[in-house]
Amino acid sequence: MDIPAGFKAIDPPTNAFMAANGPLYIKMDGGHLVLGLRVEERHCSSIGLCHGGMLMTLADLILTIGVNIQARLSRFLPTVSVTCDFLGPAPMGAWLEARVEVLRTTRNLAFGQGLLTLEDGTPIARISGILKIGGDPDPKYGPQRYFP
């Protein structure tokens, strides 16, 4: 499988859900996390396009992992809300990239927004989300989990 330069597999996957929905790839671009996925048949609807549920999964993952790393929270961040506006299709075989921007963190919540794009930068989904901040910092949720 052809993976763009700079990406590495999340290996081993951090949990069974990610293993079932991957393989997922990760890299840092400056201070921003980028999550990548090569669309396989198992990610597609019956017409050969990446299923909206898979795009929502990718949106949720980039929000929780990206906001955690970029805001230096190192905590488990349960999702409160995810919004996804589908802008275009991602056909089987396409390379998808997900990026997120931290808008704000409070004592209890983190707010982020981002884009899912094709390899050429064509946007296919606009995302936003709210995450619950709780508990004490834990290194297993920090960048060392993905970049040992």
Q: Give whole-number Cα distances, 10 to 31, 49, 121, 124, in Å.
A: 18, 24, 22, 23
pLDDT at 141: 87
Q: Considering the chain, what percentage of its residues have pLDDT values greater than 70?
A: 97
Task: Quote the pTM value.
Answer: 0.92
pLDDT at 117: 98
Q: Which domains does the chain carry?
A: 8-145 (3.10.129.10)
- State how far Cα 60 lies from the chain centre: 6
Query: Residue 123 above 80 pLDDT?
Result: yes
Q: What confidence tens digit (pLDDT) does each residue in 44-91 have? A: 999 999 999 999 999 999 999 999 999 999 999 999 999 999 999 999
Query: Residue 15 above 80 pLDDT?
Result: no
Nearest C-alpha neighbor of 83 from the set 117, 60, 109? 60
Count Cα atoms within 13 angstroms, Cβ side, for 133: 18
Higher pLDDT, 127 or 19: 127
pLDDT at 12: 63
pLDDT at 31: 86
Nearest C-alpha neighbor of 129 from the set 72, 53, 35, 58? 58
pLDDT at 13: 63
Query: Residue 14 above 80 pLDDT?
Result: no
Plot region of 48 (φ>0 → left; ψ -120 to 50 → alpha; else → beta): left
